[in-house]
Structure formats: C-alpha cells, structure tokens
Amino acid sequence: MTKKIELKFRNEDEKIVTYSLDNPIEPVDPEAVNAAMDEIITQNAFTSSGGDVIVKDSARIVERTVEDIELG
C-alpha cells in the first residue's frame, strides 16, 4: 500500500494543477500543508503549461493498494 499527498492549485488559465509527493508525514498537519502551499505560490516555485500557480484549490491523501497476480 502506498500513500501520496496531492497538492492542487489553480493556474493562470484557471485549470487545476496537481503536484504529488510520496510518503507524506502522518498524521498530516493541515496548518503545515496550508503554509507549504502558500510558500509554493509566494516563491513561484512551480509553473505549468497554463502559467504560474496562483491559488490553492485543495489537498488530499491518496492511498493505493497494488496486488500482483501470479500467472501460470
């Protein structure tokens, strides 16, 4: 089972841009996530094909389970 934190922003074209980070620290501190997202915007740390990220949209933890299937 793997977990990621997804940070979702809106860019200058008003499109959602998602950045994913593996193995988030848990339990997740919403204030720290909020502050990190503010800093990403302030520092203009990322850009996208639709321009710079300019506003926070949301954040979430995504958990995925992978199960191998044995073949013959």
pLDDT tens, position by position, 12-57 = 999 999 999 999 999 999 999 999 999 999 999 988 999 999 999 9
pLDDT (mean) for 54-62: 97
Number of structural domains, the chain? 1
| Confidence (pLDDT) at 24 | 95
Q: How far apart are CA 42 and CA 46, in angstroms?
A: 10
Q: Is residue 71 part of a domain?
A: no
Asked if residue 30 has a cis previous peptide bond (ω within 30° of 0), the answer is no
Does residue 10 register a pLDDT over 80?
yes
Q: Is residue 39 part of a domain?
A: yes
pLDDT band of 1, cuts 50, 70, 90: confident
Q: Is residue 70 part of a domain?
A: no
Range of the domain at 20: 2-64
Query: Taking the chain, what is the end-to-end CA distance rounded to the nearest angstrom?
Result: 25
Does residue 58 register a pLDDT over 80?
yes
Q: Is residue 58 part of a domain?
A: yes
